[in-house]
Amino acid sequence: MKAQTLINRILKTCEENGVDPRHVDINYRRTYDSDVYPVKLVEEDLFDAETNKQLTSIALITTK
């Protein structure tokens, strides 16, 4: 998933449910039935192979 897609889906979901995104937590689940892991950080993940300077992915970091 691209970052912009995630941002758009978060904003759309909040709008559809009438909530301000500033008041909504982000959690991670491996599957619909798995445990909930609160996302605590968003960090740089990988950079391009050619120059190692252009960010190509981010990671959502949980506490569990």
Q: pLDDT band for position 3 (50/70/90)?
A: very high
pLDDT computed for residue 63 by the predictor: 81
What is the tens place of the pLDDT at every residue in 12-42?
999 999 999 999 999 999 999 999 999 999 9
In a domain, 64, yes or no: yes
In a domain, 38, yes or no: yes
How many separate domains does the chain show? 1
In a domain, 51, yes or no: yes
How far apart (Å, rounded) are the C-alpha atoms in residues 59 and 6? 12
pLDDT computed for residue 44 by the predictor: 97
In a domain, 40, yes or no: yes
In a domain, 59, yes or no: yes
In a domain, 10, yes or no: no
Residue 58 belongs to domain spanning: 24-64
pLDDT computed for residue 14 by the predictor: 98
Average pLDDT over every residue of 5-16: 98
In a domain, 1, yes or no: no
The first and second tokens of residue 33, run together, are 């039935």
Reported pTM:
0.82
Backbone φ/ψ region at 40: left (φ over 0), alpha (ψ -120 to 50), beta? alpha
